[in-house]
Amino acid sequence: MLLQAALNGDRTRAEHLAVPLTAADLARDAAACVAEGAGAIHLHPRDRRGEESLRATVVDAVVAEVREACRVPVGVSTGAWIEPDLDRRVSLVRAWRAPDYASVNVSEPGAPRIMEALLAAGVGIEAGVWSVPDAQRLADSGYADRVTRVLVEPVDAPAATAVATVAAIHDALDALGIGAPRLQHGDGAAAWVLIADAVARGIDTRVGLEDTVNAPDGVRAAGNAALVAAARALGAG
């Protein structure tokens, strides 16, 4: 099973002082996470102003520096909030060369165009499936058999219902014949619930400050490496 470390997302240091923002911060954290057992990295590159960016000059430079430090695959996000204009987002993604893979939220308008752009750039696809309808959207996209993995990731799912939600998603993916490897994770209160469920299912999972700032016991974590260590202690990876 793969354990991926999700280093920052759109979090700020107002949410946790250890959130890595610069390339140097991300490289340091990535290396520390790999030392604790992570086998892949997911990150959101920031420009000099500290804002998320899809520009190739930012993305390629950050990914290259991080991968040099950690020596495992490094992926990024294509989230529509980073660049709302679809045509521009497609153009920016097509210019990438460094990422090993990138996540695509299949619920976002134009997701198939982003997938096409990633493949044209030689970048793998992580298809983000948030719900049962998203499973159908992935099947309808024409790219379900070309993705690196499917991210089963119900956003903002309540902890009490998160396992039932992912079970329905897995059933839908199975019924549609989508056989790509799956990485399951959650955020907030559901983060550790879904990591434990992923371990029980024997599938890939992820952890990091993008998803939660707390350890399994609810105490604030020191940072990404501590979260990876905690996930490993639960059997992840």
The span from the CA of 144 to the CA of 181, in Å, is: 11
> Residue 220 has what pLDDT?
97
> Residue 164 has what pLDDT?
98
Count of positions (residues) in the chain: 237
Handedness of CA 74, 232, 19, 166 (dihedral sign): positive
Q: Side chain identity at 38, as an amino acid letter? A: A
The span from the CA of 125 to the CA of 147, in Å, is: 5
Structure tokens at 13: 């240091």
Question: Which of 233, 120, 212 is CA-nearest to residue 157?
Answer: 212
The span from the CA of 168 to the CA of 136, in Å, is: 12
Place of tokens 């096409």: 116
> Residue 212 has what pLDDT?
98
The span from the CA of 110 to the CA of 182, in Å, is: 22
Are the C-beta atoms of residues 112 and 142 closer than 8 Å to each other? yes
Which parts of the chain sit beneath pLDDT 70?
A: none
Q: 84-93, long-range: CB within 8 Å, 24+ apart, which pairs?
A: 86/110, 86/113, 89/54, 89/114, 90/114, 90/117, 92/54, 92/55, 92/56, 93/54, 93/117, 93/118, 93/121, 93/123
Q: What is the pLDDT of residues 196-236, one digit of tens each?
A: 999 999 999 999 999 999 999 999 999 999 999 999 999 99
The span from the CA of 198 to the CA of 184, in Å, is: 6
Domains of the chain in start order, with CATH, are 3-233 (3.20.20.70)
